[in-house]
Amino acid sequence: MKKNKISKDWINRQKRDIYVRQSKIEGFRSRAVYKLQEIDKKFKIFNNGKSILDLGAAPGSWSQYIVKNFKNIKIASIDLQKFEKIENVFQIIGDFTEKNYKKQILNFFEGKIDIVLSDMAVNTTGNKNLDSIQTSELCLDAMHFSKDVLKNDGKFISKIFVGSTFNEIIAESKKIFKKSKIFKPSASRKESKESFIICSMLR
């Protein structure tokens, strides 16, 4: 009964959500696109001719936004879940944390990358602290990978949950990047502990 109530509440919330409605009208696969759009407007992330890695990409709205708005982009998207292909996007279905998939990414770009995006998060367990810790581990993995693959003036943007590991991620970002900011887009739900860390300029 409790599971059915949660599902019903989720459906009702989706129906009321202006970002869900807007994404359907504009042809994007999820409301998450508006989080990236806000980040881009505030921090000027994207330009034409960039190489971009989209981690935790499914269902693909971030990659959609990039190829729709910018030209001469070289982009790879990876997720554990299968998602519909997007034109001009190199798609990988697999676990980013495994070495063989990281190797596929490196082989595709054949050099340093301009931007690494990560919207990776674990499937929620109901234990908010555990979910936060596990998602933070994904963020740190992506951050350390970015250290190796980004150009010196590259940018790293990742989902981050406010929780017990929040300060650890901030501290680690400052060791790797000269600039780091925390930003919560208005498209992120108020009750969510989700924010994004925006980093640039490798040390």
32-202: CATH number: 3.40.50.150
* Res. 74: pLDDT tops 50: yes
pLDDT band, residue 151 (cuts 50/70/90): very high
CA distance 61 to 28: 6
Q: What mean pLDDT do residues 19-40 have?
A: 90
What is the reported pTM?
A: 0.88
What is the percent of the chain where pLDDT is above 70? Answer: 88
Q: Active-site positions? A: 159
Which residue, 150, 68, 72, is CA-closest to 106? 150
* Res. 125: pLDDT tops 70: no
Q: What mean pLDDT do residues 123-128 have?
A: 65
pLDDT band, residue 10 (cuts 50/70/90): very low
pLDDT (0 to 100) of residue 124? 64
As to burial, measured by CB atoms within 10 angstroms (0-12 exposed, 13-18 middle, 19+ buried), residue 59 is: middle
Judge whether 57 and 77 are in contact, CB under 8 Å: yes
pLDDT band, residue 6 (cuts 50/70/90): very low
Phi-psi region of 159 (alpha: psi -120 to 50; beta: other; left: phi over 0): beta
